[in-house]
Structures are given as structure tokens and as C-alpha cells.
């Protein structure tokens, strides 16, 4: 039966059907062939999978990302970060990564992060002698922090599927997110040699400039404190924090920075609705597929196979990571998570891995998937927002893919980075 399910799913994908419809159609055929229950169960599962209050946060955080991007707030964050790091080797690149980390702590979207950074920062960095491919590598990889540093859309999806606390999933990504930001910044410092930065910026630190830029960006820097601090402080839930984030970002962009007008709101909400609906369609279709996987006891058969061949938990985790990295080259993040988590998650639990550690490992794999061709979404987002060929963007990200793999290895071997914070708050 396992082979039938997999073969059908792959067949529908090869014929060009979208992932959501391939999963739902595979499930419908399996219902008919194996007489699990009435076909009306398919529509019931699709509806009930979306009738989940935890998913309310997802479209709201997407809208926050659209507001941040349309409101050009990245510019103010970058100016502040640049005022601090500009006299360092690769300082503009480090400033871009720090900016991405702050943006990630507000929007939770990798695509919005990469697109906004590319549109605003690429021309500026190229102007100061940064190689275009090198700059694209920095911006595309920095954009991946959007799904690791809380709030994170992938953590919302993971928490919903596995029935884990989304607030705890958010907290699990905090220390790994800070660690990844630090490692990427240090690597950029050493990688920014003469071949990649022909005209390094040589300016002295100016306390006056830092204070001025801080004042200009203060309200933006306050956003992650309100959104994340509100969750951790017990002031509001993850869903409520998303609504607060939308309201706060609208207020500062319309009334203080004045980069968005009231007439722009329909377009912003429409863009957020379209992006959200695309994810929801995939979610509903693949959850039927997850139901088939569950009742066919695929996970139990995998556990039995692991026991029979004497595979260690670490070896199985390595195999899982190789699978996720491979799928990351072919499918989008949400599809990969929805397809694989119902199969792999129960197995990893049985092997002794902590649910929050699994969440972070999954997320970092998804980060790497967004910057690996041919389907790396950040590559296309950056290419589309800057007009840079996808091939050039991909070449620039290759060294950073290696760094991200090293970060992934450290996270796997040091579960404390993922579980220490959420278990103490």
C-alpha cells in the first residue's frame, strides 16, 4: 500500500498537477481502492484542517510582511545597522544580515524578507563596490532568517500539524536564529575580500549618526519587542500578536513614516489574501494525504524497518536531512512540511528527539531549500525584485549554502540551543 500511495502521488506531480491537488487526488483514489471510508471524508478533512484557530496568525503575519515591504521600512533599519557596522570589512553585508534578522522578527516571511532587501539594498551595496553576485548571496541567505527567527510562518504550520504550542515553537527558534545571524555575519566579514568588494567603505564611527539613525528606526525596532515580547510575557497569544503586529505596522507606516497611504490598503490586504489562500489550499489538500499516511501506519513500518536494520537515531536523522535538502531543491517549503511531517515526525519522536528540536531542524532545512536551485523561492524573489538573473543569484548563494549546512550540523548536535529557552519561559 505504501508503494501505491507514493507512486500515485509522484504520478500526479509528474503530470503537472499542483501539490495540493496531487495530494488530494491521491487520497481520493486510495479511499476508493482500499475502501477506507466514504469519499465525503475527503471534503470533511479539507474543511476541518482549515477550521483551526491557530492558522489565524498565518495570513496576519503575511500581511505584516507586505506592509513592511511596501512601506520601505527596511531602509530605516539598514541605515541604523549600517551606521554601526560600516567601518568593518564587509560592513554593508553585515548590516544587511542584521537588518534581515530584525525584519524577520516582525514579518515571519522569508520571501517578503528577501524581496524587500533586494529591492532596496542591492543598488546601494553595488554602488559601494560590492560584487553583485556576492551581494545577492548575502541578501538571499539573510532572507532565510525570516522563517527561523520568531514569529515564523513555518513554525505556525509545524505547530498546527504536530499540535505543539506555537508560542513554544517560536521560542525554540530564537537562540538558533541569533546563532545563525552571528555565524553569517562573521562569515561575511571574512569572505568580503578584494575580489568581492572592490571599493570598501572606509568611514569612522559617528556616535551622532548612530543616535540619529536609531531615533529614525526606533519605532521599527520596537515592533519585534511588542510582537515577540507580548507572546513571551503572556500579554497575548501568537494569534493576537499577529493582529497587534498588523495594527502597529499600519499605524507607524501611515502616520509616522508616511510611506503608505490609506488608498494603498486594499492592494496590501489583497496581496496578503492571495498569498495566504495559496498556502491554505496546499494545507487543506495535503492534510487529506496526511490522513491516508496515518491510517496506513506508514510511520510504524518505518520504525520497524529502522529496528530491523539497526539504524541509530543520529543516522536516521542524517537520512531525514538529506531527504529534506533534496526535496528543498524541488518543492516549496509548505508542501515539503505538509507532506513529510506526518510520516517523519512520529518516527523521530519514537527515536527520542524533542518536538521543539525537530521543529528547528525542519526550519533550517527549509531555509536552505529556499536558496537552492532549481525551485529556491528566495532566488526567484530576489531575481524578480532586482532584475538579476537567477543563475547569478544562485552562484552568489553557494558559499552561504555551505555555511547554512554547518549551522544545521551544529543545531542537530546541540539540541540545547533549540529547547533551552522554551523550557525556561
Extended beta strands in 299-387, E state: none
pLDDT digits (tens, 9 = 90+) for 349-388: 988 999 999 999 999 998 898 888 777 778 887 787 777 8
Task: Calculate the average pLDDT of the chain.
Answer: 84
Distances (CA, A) of 95 to 86, 287, 317, 324: 7, 40, 34, 30
SS3 197: strand
At residue 25, the pLDDT reads: 82
Gap between the Cα atoms of 283 and 288, Å rounded: 9
Any idea where the domains of the chain sit in the sequence?
Answer: 54-424
Grid coordinates given for 341: 511531517
Asked whether residue 242 carries a pLDDT value surpassing 80, the answer given is yes
Gap between the Cα atoms of 264 and 258, Å rounded: 12
Contact 159, 379 (CB under 8 A): no
Contact 18, 9 (CB under 8 A): no
What do you get for the CA distance between the two ends of the chain, in Å? Answer: 44
Asked whether residue 425 carries a pLDDT value surpassing 70, the answer given is no
Asked whether residue 286 carries a pLDDT value surpassing 80, the answer given is no
At residue 201, the pLDDT reads: 61
Gap between the Cα atoms of 65 and 210, Å rounded: 26
Contact 97, 181 (CB under 8 A): yes
Grid coordinates given for 424: 525556561
The residue that leads in pLDDT, 267 or 72, is: 267
Grid coordinates given for 129: 563596490
Q: Give the dihedral of Cα atoms 193, 124, 69, 255; nearest 10 deg.
A: 130
pLDDT band per the 50, 70, 90 thresholds, residue 38: low
CA 15 vs. chain centroid, Å, equals 28
Grid coordinates given for 407: 549551522
pTM here is 0.84
Amino acid at each position: 500500500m505504501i508503494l501505491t500511495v507514493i507512486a500515485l502521488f509522484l504520478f500526479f506531480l509528474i503530470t503537472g498537477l499542483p501539490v495540493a491537488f496531487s495530494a488530494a487526488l491521491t487520497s481520493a483514489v486510495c479511499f476508493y481502492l482500499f475502501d477506507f471510508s466514504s469519499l465525503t471524508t475527503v471534503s470533511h478533512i479539507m474543511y476541518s484542517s482549515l477550521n483551526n484557530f491557530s492558522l489565524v496568525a498565518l495570513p496576519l503575519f503575511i500581511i505584516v510582511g507586505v506592509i513592511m515591504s511596501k512601506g520601505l521600512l527596511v531602509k530605516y533599519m539598514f541605515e541604523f545597522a549600517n551606521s554601526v557596522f560600516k567601518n568593518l570589512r564587509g560592513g554593508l553585508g553585515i548590516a544587511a544580515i542584521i537588518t534581515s534578522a530584525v525584519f524577520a522578527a516582525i514579518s515571519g516571511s522569508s520571501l517578503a524578507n528577501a524581496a524587500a532587501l533586494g529591492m532596496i539594498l542591492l543598488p546601494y551595496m553595488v554602488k559601494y563596490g560590492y560584487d553583485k553576485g556576492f551581494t545577492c548571496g548575502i541578501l538571499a541567505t539573510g532572507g532565510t532568517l525570516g522563517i527561523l527567527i520568531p514569529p515564523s510562518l513555518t513554525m505556525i504550520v509545524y505547530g498546527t500539524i504536530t499540535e505543539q504550542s506555537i508560542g513554544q515553537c517560536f521560542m525554540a527558534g530564537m537562540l538558533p536564529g541569533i546563532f545563525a545571524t552571528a555565524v553569517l555575519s562573521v562569515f561575511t566579514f571574512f569572505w568580503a575580500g578584494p575580489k568581492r568588494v572592490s571599493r570598501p567603505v572606509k568611514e569612522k564611527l559617528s556616535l551622532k549618526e548612530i543616535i540619529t539613525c536609531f531615533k529614525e528606526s526606533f519605532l521599527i525596532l520596537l515592533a519585534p519587542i511588542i510582537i515577540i515580547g507580548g507572546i513571551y510575557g503572556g500579554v497575548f497569544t501568537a494569534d493576537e500578536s499577529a493582529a497587534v503586529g498588523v495594527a502597529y505596522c499600519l499605524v507607524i507606516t501611515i502616520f509616522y513614516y508616511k510611506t503608505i497611504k490609506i488608498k494603498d490598503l486594499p492592494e496590501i490586504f489583497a496581496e496578503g489574501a492571495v498569498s495566504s489562500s495559496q498556502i491554505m489550499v496546499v494545507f487543506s489538500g495535503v492534510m487529506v494525504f496526511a490522513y491516508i499516511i496515518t491510517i496506513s501506519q506508514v510511520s510504524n513500518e518505518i520504525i520497524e524497518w529502522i529496528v530491523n536494520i539497526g539504524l541509530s537515531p543520529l543516522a536516521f536523522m542524517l537520512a531525514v536531512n538529506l531527504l529534506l535538502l533534496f526535496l528543498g531543491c524541488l518543492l516549496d517549503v509548505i508542501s515539503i512540511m505538509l507532506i513529510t511531517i506526518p510520516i517523519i515526525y512520529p518516527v523521530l519522536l519514537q527515536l527520542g528527539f524533542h518536538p521543539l528540536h525537530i521543529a528547528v531542524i525542519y526550519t533550517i532545512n527549509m531555509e536552505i531549500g529556499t536558496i537552492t536551485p532549481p525551485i529556491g523561492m528566495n532566488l526567484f524573489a530576489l531575481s524578480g525584485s532586482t532584475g538579476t538573473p537567477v543563475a547569478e543569484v544562485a552562484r552568489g548563494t553557494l558559499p552561504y549554502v555551505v555555511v547554512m549546512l554547518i549551522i544545521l550540523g551544529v543545531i542537530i548536535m546541540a539540541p540545547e540551543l533549540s529547547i533551552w529557552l522554551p523550557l525556561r519561559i
